[in-house]
């Protein structure tokens, strides 16, 4: 599973104005709902239910909210960056400003895990995270994600 299979230019949100974890999940749900044609509330409920199991804030200012969605036909990704880092109850207690939303079909066990592992490996690269924080605009963010993923 490659990053370019998960995101396109419309799946990049370079300047979320969210100020709380709940608001980030709402904003991500709203944008994803537009792109995949699903109800925003359904996506939000799936993401918040997953967060109740444990934070998806993986550390280094990165979170990977994810969940399985009934009637979704393929794994979907969305990258977002908040203007200011926010408390996401991360494993390392650092605030988060980089988010990669991952949604998978309900029966996509292996594909979901492969995509999650791929995104997780990508965001372990501290240099990439710093470039993503400094990039201007969605096109630059998209290019950085694809370039790094292709090199990995």
Give kind and range of the element (H or E) at residue 96.
strand 96-105
The candidate with the shortest Cα–Cα distance to 28, out of 71, 94, 76, is 76
Between the CA of residue 48 and those of 5, 8, 9, 98, 126, what are the distances in Å?
Answer: 25, 24, 26, 18, 27
The β-bridge partners of 81 are: 98
Please tell me the distance from the alpha carbon of residue 22 to that of residue 18, in angstroms, as a whole number.
Answer: 9
Task: Tally DSSP H helices, then E strands, for the chain.
Answer: 6, 6
**Active-site option among 31, 66, 112, 142:** 66
Is residue 66 annotated as a catalytic residue, yes or no? yes
Catalogue the active-site residues: 66
């Amino acid at each position: 599973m490659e990053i370019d299979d998960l995101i396109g230019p419309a799946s990049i949100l370079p300047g979320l104005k969210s100020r709380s974890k709940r608001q980030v999940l709402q904003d991500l749900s709203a944008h994803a709902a537009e792109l995949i044609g699903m109800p925003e509330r359904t996506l939000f409920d799936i993401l918040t239910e997953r967060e109740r199991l444990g934070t998806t804030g993986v550390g280094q200012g990165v979170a990977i909210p994810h969940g399985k969605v009934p009637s979704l036909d393929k794994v979907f990704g969305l990258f977002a960056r908040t203007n200011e880092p926010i408390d996401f109850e991360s494993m390392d207690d650092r605030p988060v400003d980089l988010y990669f939303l991952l949604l998978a079909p309900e029966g996509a066990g292996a594909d979901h895990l492969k995509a999650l592992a791929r995104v997780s490996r990508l965001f372990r690269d501290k240099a990439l995270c710093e470039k993503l924080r400094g990039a201007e605009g969605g096109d630059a963010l998209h290019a950085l994600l694809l370039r790094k993923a292709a090199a990995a």
